[in-house]
Chains A and B, each alone.
Chain A
Amino acid sequence: SQQGEEDPQALSIQEGENATMNCSYKTSINNLQWYRQNSGRGLVHLILIRSNEREKHSGRLRVTLDTSKKSSSLLITASRAADTASYFCATATNTNAGKSTFGDGTTLTVKP
């Protein structure tokens, strides 16, 4: 079963707007990662947030983690057409020996 589940499944916005994607998970985690995938390509790691962190920034990306709600959000500010991609969260736990479990992703379309 999926550990991470993203919401919404699809998101369409205009260039310049902010995009927020959410991820929920079921068990305690060591860390949570966000990845980006352009169509037909491999995944690119964006940001990792550890279970003892609440917020992390990287450029136009802001990730929050709420372990009490078992949820995370990815905010992309001032979106660009080039941000169009699928975004996945993945979780790593103490018991899974380095394996991360991926959700089904959010497909983001940024219209120019």
Chain B
Amino acid sequence: SQTIHQWPATLVQPVGSPLSLECTVEGTSNPNLYWYRQAAGRGLQLLFYSVGIGQISSEVPQNLSASRPQDRQFILSSKKLLLSDSGFYLCAWSAIRQGGEAFFGQGTRLTVV
């Protein structure tokens, strides 16, 4: 069966420090991969998605970047965190190119102080 791992669960980082969040998927190949951010009490904002190794699409201009070095690995990074980067980050994968059910990791609560 397919599983998705996202870590860490919580992270407190000072302003200006780098960030690296990692997400890996098991049990499937060539998945669509997504990074979302969720503000408190709000829905999900799509940050990045990837349909293959090295293929990254950015949805919103921001201080973050994403990379997909392996088929089932998706990394969210920042060189210098801003206070506004605080939030709940979710990784997800789906198997359907045309859109469909997505499977989410447990999320990372990032607090930039």
Give the contact stretch, choosing among A13-21, A57-65, A77-85, A97-105.
A97-105
The interface size bin for chain B is 20 to 34
Q: A30-B98, A104-B43, A105-B43 are in contact. Are A99 and B103 (CB under 8 A)?
A: no
Instruction: Please tell me the number of chain A residues within 8 Å of chain B, measured between CB atoms.
Output: 29
Q: Which of A35, A88, A98 contacts B94 (CB 8 A)?
A: A98
Chain A min CB distance to B107 (Å)? 5
Q: Which residues of B contact A88 (CB under 8 A)?
A: 43-44
Q: Which residues of B contact A94 (CB under 8 A)?
A: 98
Q: Which residues of A contact B103 (CB under 8 A)?
A: 45
B104 touches A43 (CB 8 A): yes
Q: Which residues of B contact A33 (CB under 8 A)?
A: 100-102
- Cβ contacts A to B, 15 pairs, < 8 Å: A31-B99, A41-B107, A42-B90, A43-B90, A43-B104, A44-B104, A45-B103, A90-B102, A92-B100, A98-B94, A98-B97, A99-B99, A100-B94, A102-B43, A103-B43
Question: Which residues of A line the B interface, CB within 8 A?
Answer: 2, 4, 30-31, 33, 35, 40-45, 48, 88, 90, 92-94, 96-105, 107
